[in-house]
């Protein structure tokens, strides 16, 4: 049995960590907003917004600048912390397929979730920071720079809230909708194959809202605008850094984020893909959603590992 997740690593003060995460998050927002507006970014980062095609899609100077800002900031603020830092931009150098990192405490970072949205100017991008203990997220941060929203979730304490630059806080506000036909789905504009369309038809949900990043999608659930998000994928699945922080904040707020068969998402297990039928929801109808989705997938694609 996996050890129970602790709240904070030994020697790390929760309030000191949250204060540093606020500073780093709003600094990341300043970097991204400057790049997005064609202005000189702060903290000495280069002004040119170059774009290269990496293994998973476009990587911009903004991704790399925020990555450096977050990693350097955590190392400088907590030089003796017993944690390991992993980000989307460092994963190729750090990870070996099939081998988990030797890390009891692991930061899982995505410096820019929704790079295509950022480059297209939709504003629907996010920054993800998650701290996992024995592979389970215990703290999550989802930053939405364009909306000036900083979502923070502490899973063991079941506390989640949103704050702005002034530090004004408001709690998550999950919707009261419960009947499946009333639930509002938040979905991607792209990434919608025939299997997903068939699954959504079988679930017979209510309205649909389209949002770019995973962090942005989950934020709509936290605000009560939508009720669920479904990720259905195999080889080209989202990665650990796409899901860890949104999952932590949603679970801390009282929502749920699991596979359709009820399994928890697993992190740092040697496979960074979050494949299968994953359902994030406000929690009220989660079991019903999972049962119906698993049954539908058994017909749509027999043998698909949900």
pLDDT, tens digit, for every residue of 161-217?
999 999 999 999 999 999 999 999 999 876 667 899 999 999 999 999 999 899 999
Beta strands 84-87 and 105-113 are parallel
Q: Which two tokens stand for residue 9?
A: 């690593």
Give the span between the Cα atoms of 277 and 196, in whole angstroms: 9
Count CA atoms within 13 Å of residue 55 on its CB side. Answer: 8
pLDDT digits (tens, 9 = 90+) for 30-67: 999 999 988 899 999 988 666 655 544 445 789 999 99
Task: Write down the residue that tokens 């990043």 correspond to.
Answer: 213
State pTM to two decimals: 0.93
Give strand pairing partners of 129.
Answer: 109, 141
Sequence ranges of the chain with CATH classification 3.30.540.10? 14-171
Q: Where do the CATH 3.40.190.80 domains begin and end in the chain? A: 180-300
CATH label, 180-300, candidates 3.40.50.720, 3.40.190.80, 3.40.50.300, 3.30.390.50: 3.40.190.80
**By three-state DSSP, how is residue 229 classified?**
strand
Classify domain 14-171 by CATH architecture.
Answer: 2-Layer Sandwich (3.30)
Contact, 271 vs 241, CB < 8 A? no
Q: Which residues contact residue 6 at a Cβ distance below 8 angstroms, ignoring those fewer than 6 apart?
A: 133, 138, 156
Two tokens at 194? 């025939």
Query: Residue for token digits 């530090």?
Result: 167
């Amino acid at each position: 049995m996996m050890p129970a997740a602790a709240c904070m690593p030994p020697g790390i003060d929760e309030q000191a960590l949250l204060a540093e995460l606020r500073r780093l998050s709003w600094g990341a927002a300043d970097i991204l907003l400057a790049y997005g507006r064609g202005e000189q970014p702060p903290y000495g980062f280069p002004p040119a917004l170059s774009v290269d095609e990496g293994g998973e899609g476009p990587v911009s100077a903004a991704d790399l600048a925020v990555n450096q800002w977050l990693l350097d900031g955590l190392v400088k603020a907590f030089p003796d912390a017993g944690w390991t830092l992993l980000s989307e931009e460092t994963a190729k150098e750090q990870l070996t397929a099939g081998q988990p990192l030797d890390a009891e405490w692991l930061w899982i970072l995505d410096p820019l979730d929704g790079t295509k949205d950022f480059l297209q100017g939709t504003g629907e991008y996010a920054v993800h920071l998650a701290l996992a203990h024995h592979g389970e997220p215990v703290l999550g941060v989802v930053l939405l720079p364009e909306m000036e929203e900083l979502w923070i979730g502490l899973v063991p304490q079941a506390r989640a809230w949103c704050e702005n630059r002034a530090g004004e806080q408001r709690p998550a506000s999950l919707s009261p909708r419960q009947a499946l036909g009333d639930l509002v789905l938040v979905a991607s504009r792209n990434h919608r194959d025939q299997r997903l369309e068939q699954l959504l038809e079988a679930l017979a949900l209510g309205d649909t809202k389209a949002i770019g990043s995973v962090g942005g999608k989950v934020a709509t659930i936290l605000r009560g605008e939508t009720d669920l998000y479904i990720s259905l994928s195999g080889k080209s699945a989202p990665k650990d850094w796409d899901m860890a922080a949104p999952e932590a904040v949603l679970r801390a707020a009282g929502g749920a984020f699991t596979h359709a068969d009820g399994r928890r998402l697993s992190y740092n297990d040697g496979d960074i893909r979050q494949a299968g039928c994953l359902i994030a929801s406000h929690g009220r109808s989660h079991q019903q959603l999972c049962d119906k989705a698993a049954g539908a997938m058994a017909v749509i694609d027999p043998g698909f590992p949900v």
